[in-house]
Amino acid sequence: MKNNKFVQFKYINKHLFNTLRNIEKKNTFYANKEIPELKKFTLNCKKILDFKKNIRALIICLYPKSYKARKFSAQTVKKILEIMCEYAGDTLIQNSSKDKLIEVYDRDRKLSMHKGSRYHQTREGGSIHTDNVNIPNGWEYLMFGCLSSSKAGGETILVDSKTIHKELNLNFAEAKSILEKNFFWEKRGVADELYRAPILTYDKTNQPMFRYLRPYLEAAHMKANKKLTSKQLYALDVLDALLETSKFQFRYKMQKGDVLFNLDSKVLHGRTSFSDAYDALPLAKIKNKESRLKRTMIRVWIKNREKKN
């Protein structure tokens, strides 16, 4: 049986859908500073992640259940996502150009993470990871909205931190204790600096939290001139092997209007490799040729808003 109990699907209701459709028709997203119903829906989703003990990821569908008619445009999905993120918390800067909403799509078939590119710029699969790898301070939530799916492949893979932790505890105690010690990390795309942090840590209630993306970690160790020891390599190999075990994975091919909303350090994620259609275009170039859009996801990192006194 697939391990998918930590994921819950959520659909918006017809009323909220009609509200959003009307705003799309009138093209007034920018004027609509508040969409109270969307705010309520988003905060409710956040509550599920914060308080429902067994749920660590939501796949939100921006259509009512069983909806088969015309979908929102990619730009509308992006706008709705942006508004939802605003309601969920403070959005973080993700690169040196200070962007907070990052487009995840294949920039060029020749790019590779192993040659210095960032995961979100390539078509590569594998490397099940968390996003909290290139900024030392963590944040709580990842929001990841689909504007277009790929022609071939590109399934989203989710793995529950608790399941992996349990498996490490039961069968790989030595690997687990190595993962709890410091490794080097680089701040790829953000700053030319290194920092040290463990892969496996625990929150206040002793729940496991991961920080992991192997290619970034390996590159950081090279830069630091600190070769990974054979014991460290063993621990990383165990972790990768567990993350790639099918019974621990939940897979789902996201479609336009699906939004993944999850606890970043408590759900590891990745994708299978993909290919867009040969003549597919990035968002900035599609104009009204919506069907030619490449696999495009919008990624946002969200931190709980500091309470103002």
Q: Which residue is nearest to Fe ion (CB)?
A: 131
- We find the least distance from the C-beta atom of residue 230 to Fe ion, in angstroms, to be 28
Q: Which amino acid is at 260?
A: L
Task: Let me know: does 173 contact 290? Beta carbons within 8 Å.
Answer: no
- We find the least distance from the C-beta atom of residue 213 to Fe ion, in angstroms, to be 8
- We find the least distance from the C-beta atom of residue 28 to Fe ion, in angstroms, to be 32
Q: Which residues, in sequence order, are CB contacts of 137 under 8 Å at separation 6+? A: none
Q: Which is nearer to Fe ion, 242 or 268 (CB)?
A: 268
Q: Which is nearer to Fe ion, 122 or 163 (CB)?
A: 122
Question: Between 74-88 and 36-51, two packed helices, what is the crossing angle to 10 degrees?
Answer: 60
The SS3 call for residue 134 is coil
DSSP code of 282?
-
- We find the least distance from the C-beta atom of residue 301 to Fe ion, in angstroms, to be 10
Q: Which is nearer to Fe ion, 38 or 133 (CB)?
A: 133
Q: Which is nearer to Fe ion, 131 or 160 (CB)?
A: 131
Q: Which is nearer to Fe ion, 176 or 269 (CB)?
A: 269
- We find the least distance from the C-beta atom of residue 29 to Fe ion, in angstroms, to be 26
Strands 200-202 and 208-210 come out as: antiparallel
Q: Which residues, in sequence order, are CB contacts of 262 under 8 Å at separation 6+? A: 49, 56, 57, 58, 141, 142, 144, 158, 269
Q: How many CB atoms within 10 Å of residue 243? A: 22
- We find the least distance from the C-beta atom of residue 119 to Fe ion, in angstroms, to be 6
Strands 296-303 and 102-104 come out as: antiparallel
- We find the least distance from the C-beta atom of residue 265 to Fe ion, in angstroms, to be 12
Q: Which is nearer to Fe ion, 29 or 144 (CB)?
A: 144
- Per-residue tokens: 60: 């939100």
**What is the residue-wise DSSP string for 3-72?**
--TTEEEEE--HHHHHHHHHHHHHT-TTT----HHHHHHHHHHHHHHHH-TT--EEEEESS-TT--SPPP
Q: Which is nearer to Fe ion, 131 or 276 (CB)?
A: 131
Write out the residues near Fe ion by the rule CB under 5 A.
131
